[in-house]
């Protein structure tokens, strides 16, 4: 027979022997869920306030609970709070400390709720706060992209398909493609926040409670849009965590694509940009090296975040309603995903405005690879030649250029006219890089004018964010 002090007093009355030491450690979550303490205390104060309104607690008891919880939060923030593995989780550690401080009144706090709805509420409160912080950092990154895109609206670089030179574009236009990816990510983040902002508090263990609680009141006190509508679903739902990790996986995929381009562009083979030293590291053996470690690491962390998404999907795939101990495994993947996303966004938001483009290298690369070949085909179409015939004519022109080591813009009029007699001197207006990009002057096009319009429109959207 165990002594009561050997078991968790929140449930130990049913048991006749102490929990095995290994099992206690294996099942405890306090080592990682203690970061939920501020939200746990916030939820408890709201719950106690509601219990006072419905007559379960009196005003003196409420004041005692609020003062006690405030003191505990101060101790936690100061690092002087003593966490106990025997008490399993953040909830029981806080409750035990409160009871130790204010006596029997502390034991009344848990009336009308369970750790099941308590933890579901805490996680939502915590994630909502983190989503707001991530949204702000994502906006900061987008603002940095806009600043660089505006400054580089006329900087010409090669556009690629299959990583082969395709057509000339502007660096500003390329950067705005990154912006659009992140704009969709921001929308997904807002959608996730909207769906998670429902309060499970009051669902209790799984079926609700017999006490006359006011779930609308606690939802309002905690800033939720309202209470969840089904007690079984309330305590077992982790869709919001999965949805956030799905957002994070897509976001990191976008950052990884941008990272790959930054890595390529800093290489000697491309030599398109220079990253400041503070975002790079050197080699222990090769003194000439300047490695783009920040984008490389962001690219690598994408796999980590994707793994967390799969972990949460797998965690939930076979769970019957309602709450199961499996759900304790939701926190570490979610916590690490949030931390990783915040770090990657901070790295990018600091790094992007500091990029130094090498305009001449970009321009020279755009001249190679016959990037204005499509412009020549379009020119021929405007002269009345069917596109398929134009395509063949330009193909022969390119073959000639390869043999003669000449770009289309470097050929003489006589050399070009050997492939079509409709070609006149005005052809050189479309074969220049500037002419090529300027000709694509429509919404979504790479013309400098369109880049500036896109930047202005995007800046106005960002300014309207709350």
How would residue 305 be classed by pLDDT, with cut points 50, 70 and 90? very high
Is the Cα dihedral 35, 38, 41, 43 positive or negative?
Answer: negative
291 by Cβ neighbours in 10 Å (0-12 / 13-18 / 19+) ranks as middle
pLDDT at 79 over 60: yes
Would you state the structure tokens that stand for residue 292, as one six-digit string? Answer: 């783009």
Q: Strands 356-357, 273-274: parallel, antiparallel or unpaired by DSSP?
A: antiparallel
* Cα–Cα distance for residue pair 45/112, rounded to 1 Å: 14
- DSSP state string for 366-421: HHTTTTTHHHHHHHHHHTT--HHHHHHHHHHHHHHHHHHT--GGGS-HHHHHTT-T
pLDDT at 369: 79
* Residues 419-442, mean pLDDT to the nearest whole number: 92
How would residue 4 be classed by pLDDT, with cut points 50, 70 and 90? very low
* Residues 185-194, mean pLDDT to the nearest whole number: 98
Where do the H-state alpha helices sit in 267-386?
Answer: 293-316, 331-351, 359-367, 373-382
* Residues 11-37, mean pLDDT to the nearest whole number: 81
Cα separation values, 432 from 24, 376, 398, Å: 73, 10, 15
Percent of the chain with pLDDT over 90: 86
- For the stretch 369-424, pLDDT in tens is 788 899 899 999 999 999 999 999 999 999 999 999 988 888 999 999 999 999 99
Is the Cα dihedral 207, 209, 215, 219 positive or negative?
Answer: negative
- The average confidence (pLDDT) of the chain is 94
The one catalytic residue among 2, 84, 283, 457: 283
Cα torsion 444, 450, 452, 455 to 10°: value is -20
* Cα–Cα distance for residue pair 201/118, rounded to 1 Å: 6
Respond yes or no: is residue 283 known to be catalytic: yes
The torsion region of residue 411 among left (phi > 0), alpha (psi -120 to 50) and beta comes to beta
SS (H, E, C) 85-138: HHHCCHHHHHHHHHHHHHCHHHHHCCCCCCHHHHHHHHHHHHHHHHHHHHHHHH
- For the stretch 162-172, pLDDT in tens is 999 999 999 99
Percent of the chain with pLDDT over 70: 95
User: Domains in the chain, please, with CATH?
Assistant: 24-111 (1.10.275.10), 116-363 (1.20.200.10), 366-463 (1.10.40.30)
Closest CA to 147 of 353, 364, 382, 448: 353
Cβ atoms of residues 143 and 458 within 8 Å: no
Residues 6+ apart with CB under 8 A from 130: 338, 342
Cα torsion 395, 396, 401, 402 to 10°: value is 80
- For the stretch 195-225, pLDDT in tens is 999 999 999 999 999 999 999 999 999 999 9
Cα torsion 37, 43, 46, 51 to 10°: value is -110
Cβ atoms of residues 312 and 242 within 8 Å: yes
Cβ atoms of residues 112 and 213 within 8 Å: yes
Residues 6+ apart with CB under 8 A from 252: 298, 301, 302, 305, 306, 340, 341, 344
* Residues 268-293, mean pLDDT to the nearest whole number: 86
Cβ atoms of residues 282 and 291 within 8 Å: yes
How would residue 15 be classed by pLDDT, with cut points 50, 70 and 90? low
pLDDT at 20: 78
* Residues 154-160, mean pLDDT to the nearest whole number: 97
Run of H or E residues at 160: strand 156-161
């Amino acid at each position: 027979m165990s002594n009561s002090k050997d078991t968790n007093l929140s449930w130990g009355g049913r048991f006749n022997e102490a929990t095995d030491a290994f099992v206690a450690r294996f099942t405890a979550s306090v080592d990682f869920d203690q970061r939920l303490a501020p939200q746990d205390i916030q939820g408890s104060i709201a719950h106690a306030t509601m219990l006072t309104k419905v007559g379960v607690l009196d005003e003196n008891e409420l004041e005692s609970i609020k003062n006690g919880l405030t003191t505990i939060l101060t101790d936690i923030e100061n690092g002087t709070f003593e966490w106990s593995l025997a008490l399993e989780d953040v909830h029981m550690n806080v409750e035990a400390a409160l009871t130790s401080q204010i006596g029997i009144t502390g034991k009344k706090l848990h009336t009308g709720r369970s750790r099941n709805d308590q933890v579901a509420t805490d996680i939502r409160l915590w994630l909502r706060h983190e989503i707001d912080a991530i949204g702000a950092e994502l906006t900061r990154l987008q603002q940095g992209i806009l600043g660089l895109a505006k400054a580089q609206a006329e900087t010409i670089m090669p556009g690629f398909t299959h990583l082969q030179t395709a057509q000339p574009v502007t660096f500003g236009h390329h950067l705005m493609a990154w912006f659009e990816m992140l704009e969709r990510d921001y929308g997904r983040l807002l959608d996730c926040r909207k769906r998670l902002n429902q309060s499970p508090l009051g669902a209790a263990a799984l079926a609700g409670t017999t006490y006359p609680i006011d779930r609308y009141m606690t939802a309002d006190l905690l800033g939720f849009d309202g209470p969840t509508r089904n007690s079984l679903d309330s305590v077992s739902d982790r869709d919001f965590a999965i949805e956030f990790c799905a957002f994070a996986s897509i976001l990191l995929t976008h950052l990884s694509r941008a990272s790959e381009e930054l890595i390529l562009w800093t290489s000697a083979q491309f030599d398109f940009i220079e990253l400041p030293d503070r975002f790079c590291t050197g080699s222990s053996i090769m003194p000439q090296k300047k490695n783009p470690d920040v984008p490389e690491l962001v690219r690598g962390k994408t796999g980590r975040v994707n793994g967390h998404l799969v972990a949460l999907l797998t965690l939930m795939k076979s769970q019957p309603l309602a709450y199961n101990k499996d759900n304790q495994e939701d926190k570490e993947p979610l916590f690490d995903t949030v931390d990783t996303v915040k770090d990657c966004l901070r790295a990018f938001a600091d790094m992007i405005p500091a990029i130094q483009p090498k305009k001449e290298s970009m321009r020279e690369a755009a001249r190679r690879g016959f990037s204005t070949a499509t412009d020549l085909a379009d020119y021929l179409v405007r002269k009345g030649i069917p596109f398929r015939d134009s395509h063949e004519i330009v193909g022969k022109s390119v073959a000639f250029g390869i043999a003669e080591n000449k770009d289309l813009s470097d050929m003489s009029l006589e050399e070009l006219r050997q492939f079509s007699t409709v070609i006149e001197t005005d052809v050189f207006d479309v074969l220049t890089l500037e002419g090529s990009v300027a000709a694509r002057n429509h919404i979504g096009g790479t013309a400098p004018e369109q880049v500036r319009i896109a930047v202005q429109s995007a800046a106005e959207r960002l300014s309207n964010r709350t």
